Amino acid sequence: MSSLIENRTPAQLPGSVDPSIAASFGVLRRAGTAGDEPPPLNPLAEEVGDRLAGYYPGEVRQLFQFPDGRRFFLVVGLPRLLPIPPAQCLPSQLRSRRKQLVEDELKRAQEPLYCIVGVATLPIAGPGNGNCARFADIYTGASLLLGAELGPHLLVDLVPDGVATVNLRYSDGTLISASVLENAYAFTPPPALVKRAEALFNPSKLLRALTRKHLSKRERREYQRRLYKQFEEALIAEVPGQVQWLAGDGYVVRTIRPVSLLHARPLTSLVVGS
């Protein structure tokens, strides 16, 4: 897997992912094959380099290969640390909590991430998606939020062993049923909801406002808040309201409501895993 990392160079980690994680995902327990080798020129380094401090080279797996040339790979590793500024550089309400912030970040750095990256072997196909999440996020639906992209993108995510089908139900009543192959499933959000999300997220006016000179801190924060809120509303429009994991016999293994996470806490807290 020497061709995997070329620029940001996350370290090659010795050993393998925690056995308690591999025990739930057969794709990580099987031996690697020639099909798991990424192409010589690929964007995997760009996609995972900012998120992973290191990766397990023996656990890169191809999840899907589509007729249009797209290939989706699973990469598992440990996250990069987010630098915590000195106390005097933090907002006043956070200065007394700096020690706790550092301890939380060190703890987070020990929790493995999985990244799913799309590679296009045919230029006309364009790239796939690339997103990273904690394995725990799979069980709450947070991984679907973190992997969501505004637009008609094919999305790929993981489920644990024992799940044969994933049913995704949207706010307009659309039901998508996705088959699971080696812990992975792929789907594209309904086109009508994608258009609605794109209409909700029209950031050009707010971005122009943010580039104006002489904005006060209060004005800048307000524009940033409105931009974030607009994006969050667009995500809510495009993310399934309910997701069900089904076993091979049709038994409902788990029901997840990803959108409810956004109502409970900000998307930024999901990104850092707080």
DSSP characters over 180-192: -BTTEEEE---HH
Which range, 37-46, 49-58, 156-165, 197-206, has the best average confidence (pLDDT)? 156-165
Same domain, 267 and 177: yes
Return the higher-pLDDT residue of 150 and 107: 107
Pick from 27-36, 116-125, 160-169, 190-199: least confident: 116-125
- 16 in any annotated domain: yes
Return the higher-pLDDT residue of 269 and 228: 228
- 13 in any annotated domain: yes
The stretch 197-225 carries a mean pLDDT of 71
Same domain, 169 and 115: no
Same domain, 119 and 196: no
Same domain, 114 and 14: yes
Check whether 124 has a pLDDT greater than 70: no
| Amino acid 145: pLDDT | 82
Same domain, 166 and 75: no
| Amino acid 190: pLDDT | 85
Q: What are the DSSP E strand ranges found in the chain?
A: 11-12, 52-55, 61-65, 70-79, 113-120, 130-134, 155-158, 165-169, 175-179, 184-187, 242-246, 252-256
- 140 in any annotated domain: no
Pick from 10-24, 37-51, 202-216: least confident: 202-216
Domains contained in the chain, number: 2
- What is the tens place of the pLDDT at every residue in 232-259? 777 777 888 899 999 999 999 999 998 7
Distance CA 131, CA 47 (A): 8
Check whether 6 has a pLDDT greater than 50: no
Q: Model-level pTM?
A: 0.79
- 84 in any annotated domain: yes
- 111 in any annotated domain: yes
Same domain, 122 and 186: no
The stretch 75-97 carries a mean pLDDT of 76
Distance CA 198, CA 202 (A): 7
- 201 in any annotated domain: yes
The residue behind tokens 């690339």 is 130
Residue ranges making up the domain that contains 204? 162-274
- What is the tens place of the pLDDT at every residue in 161-186? 999 999 999 988 899 999 999 999 99
- 156 in any annotated domain: no
| Amino acid 1: pLDDT | 46
Pick from 78-87, 127-136, 143-152, 205-214: least confident: 205-214
| Amino acid 264: pLDDT | 57
Distance CA 233, CA 202 (A): 11
Same domain, 92 and 207: no
Nearest to 27 by CA among 178, 165, 163: 163
Check whether 97 has a pLDDT greater than 50: yes
Return the higher-pLDDT residue of 164 and 15: 164
Same domain, 123 and 182: no
Same domain, 6 and 70: yes
Same domain, 192 and 267: yes
Beta carbons of 201 and 149 less than 8 angstroms apart? no
Q: Band of the pLDDT at 192, cuts 50, 70, 90?
A: confident
- 120 in any annotated domain: yes
Same domain, 202 and 120: no
Same domain, 35 and 124: yes
